[in-house]
Amino acid sequence: MEKIPSVNNLTIAAKRIQPYIHRTPVLTSETINRMFGSSFFFKCENFQKVGAFKSRGAVNAVFSLNDKSVINGVATHSSGNHAQALARAGRLRRVPVYIVMPRNAPRVKINAVRNYGGIITFCEPTLKAREETLKRVIKETGSVEIHPYDNYRIIEGQATCTMELIEDAGAPDMILCPVGGGGLLSGTALAAAYFSKNTEVIVCEPAMADDAYRSFRAGRLIPGVNPETIADGLLTSLGERNFPIIRKFVKDIVTVSEESIIEAMRLVYERMKIIIEPSSAVPVAALIENKLDVKGKTVGIILSGGNVDLKNLPF
């Protein structure tokens, strides 16, 4: 039976992925510190390979497979950052990568996957079609499925982000993290629990896609129904392997409005001069809504990615 990743699993993952990922910088902003009376440490995964933390988990998952298991390649269904990250990881391991994508995926995403050598199979834009097509591709190719978040190797990889944050900026009083499927969040929660046990992990989620909030409060998984948020990386519902870790190690969850997410995005662009995707702005939105007791505290914030359409900024 699979077990929740241990301290040792996380340490191995950090070593395993180190040659293939970017140790992203931790930035600070005196303006934002002053605004909220705290010391913030922004872990800049927008500067990560393929522009998002997803590179960490994908590399860990692909390189944790032994030569025999991986020989027929890996597969997933995704139209987002995970697809690119997996395509890149497979290319580094020199194995084929099969990506199932909805027919209506944006051209820029399709091209990005192809640039990394990913082999795309298109399907109808429904979850059912995606899952069935993936099943067929796996059967035909003998490849191994790498789920974007409901996978312990993925979770371990995403955990390395917080391990680096703690190493480079010290153990903060709190870490703020967004949540979609929960891959980044469960990794963050595990890393904090193992390497900085006094650090509280607080989750920030769009109110318009609040399945994690409702699941956390109810104590059972409640999938989202038609979530709609500008934070397009957070539309997915919590995974089965992710939820128990989150229940156990996360201190609290708060939700934020779409308006605050946009305001937070602009604040980071204007004051920090860095480009983040809307999902990354969700924890900053929670500060703007004054929902967190951060005053006088040291606070780590995971900026999860920077893949955004610069022609369609929401402000």
Using CB under 8 A, list all residues that contact a copy of itself: 25, 27, 46-47, 51, 266, 269-270, 272-276, 306, 310-311, 313, 315
The smaller minimum CB distance to a copy of itself, of residues 60 and 307, is found at 307
Closest CA to 151 of 193, 121, 184: 184
The smaller minimum CB distance to a copy of itself, of residues 133 and 307, is found at 307
C-alpha dihedral, 65 to 140 to 155 to 290, nearest 10°: 160
The smaller minimum CB distance to a copy of itself, of residues 27 and 100, is found at 27
CB 261, min distance to a copy of itself, A: 16
CB 310, min distance to a copy of itself, A: 6
The smaller minimum CB distance to a copy of itself, of residues 71 and 313, is found at 313
CB 264, min distance to a copy of itself, A: 14
CB 166, min distance to a copy of itself, A: 20
In Å, how far from its chain's centre is CA 295? Answer: 26
Host H or E run for residue 270: helix 258-272
Alpha-carbon distance of 33 to 45, in angstroms, equals: 20
CB 302, min distance to a copy of itself, A: 15
Residue 72 sits at φ, ψ, to 5 deg, of: -90, 10
The smaller minimum CB distance to a copy of itself, of residues 199 and 280, is found at 280
CB 167, min distance to a copy of itself, A: 17
C-alpha dihedral, 211 to 209 to 105 to 80, nearest 10°: -70
Beta carbons of 286 and 292 less than 8 angstroms apart: yes
The smaller minimum CB distance to a copy of itself, of residues 50 and 175, is found at 50
Quote the strand ranges of 134-246, DSSP E: 144-145, 174-178, 200-206
Under 8 Å CB-to-CB from 73, ≥6 apart: which residues?
90, 95, 96, 97, 98, 141, 142, 143, 144
